Amino acid sequence: MKIISMMAIMLCLFFAGTTASASEDRTLLGSPLIPARLERDGSFEALLDHQRLMASQACMARESCAGKTALWLNALQGTWGTDNNHALDKLIAVQDYFSTSAYKRNGVTVWAYEREPLGTDVWKDAQKFLQDEGGDCEDFAIVKAAALYALGIRDLKVVVLRDEAAGDNHAVLAATVDNVTYILDNKLTTVVHDDSLLVRTYQPLFYLDYAPDAAEGDSKGGLFGLRRPYSLVSGTLDTP
């Protein structure tokens, strides 16, 4: 995703009161973690409810979407969820599964990161991702978080970052298991440690916790969750 005064625009329009916990000493990709809070209002929630309804109806009407949804649910209920699977095995299985999803922009499947005019960007929930059979970088992060959360993994963060090598902004999923943080990135086919050379050019900007069971009003909870399928709709943020 291209950087267009992203932090200033994004934080002014959507993230009020962004703060970092004084007690939090964790880092990611070599940098401090900065949580962000999304302010919600009634009109925004109504828009998201409409988006989810349309996605559900469209998915039910398409055999390919219904098939993918069934396959995903079967995977969650099948080998991914068995007790003898280590948490890292679940990360690898989810990364492998969604590596087969096409990267899409404006309804067109593209495998290269092409630049496009600034427009409305939609952060999809898992159902919308399955309906569209793909998505942007943040959509991959969200759908992987939804899958891993359903498998019992709780420390999940959607991280918006700057890829210094590519000169673009990007989003990945950071999953911490057994005190080790792993990166699930749609640019990569494998799961990597957050100190891997493959992600050494990533500079985190901010993150959002995937915490669907958090109480309403929690500044880091409920944004992308299964409890309420929030998406982020922005006319100012340009993402891949």
* Domain assignment of residue 22, yes or no: no
String of b and e for 130-167 (b: at least 16 CB within 10 Å)? bbbebbbbbbbbbbbbbbbbbbebeebbbbbbbbeeee
- Residue 206 corresponds to which tokens in the numbers above? 């901010």
pLDDT tens per residue, range 125-156: 777 777 777 778 888 898 888 888 878 888 99
* Domain assignment of residue 24, yes or no: no
Q: Tokens 């399955």 identify what position?
A: 130
Domain count, the chain: 1
- Residue 67's Cβ-count burial label (10 Å; 0-12, 13-18, 19+) is exposed
CATH number of 223's domain? 3.10.620.30
- DSSP β-ladder status, 102-105 and 134-135: parallel
Q: Which residues have a Cβ under 8 Å from the Cβ of 14 and sit 6 or more positions away?
A: 38, 39, 232, 234
71 CB neighbour count, 10 Å cutoff: 12
Handedness of CA 44, 159, 91, 220 (dihedral sign): negative
CA 79 and chain centroid, separation: 23
What integer pLDDT is reported at residue 185 of this predicted model? 94
* Domain assignment of residue 100, yes or no: yes
Q: Which residues have a Cβ under 8 Å from the Cβ of 24 and sit 6 or more positions away?
A: 33
What integer pLDDT is reported at residue 111 of this predicted model? 38
Tell me the average pLDDT across 200-218: 70
Owning domain of residue 107: 6-15+32-234
pLDDT tens per residue, range 58-76: 655 555 566 666 666 666 6
Instruction: Answer yes or no: are the C-beta atoms of 201 and 164 closer than 8 Å.
Output: yes
* Domain assignment of residue 114, yes or no: yes
* Domain assignment of residue 144, yes or no: yes
pTM over 0.85, yes/no: no
* Domain assignment of residue 179, yes or no: yes
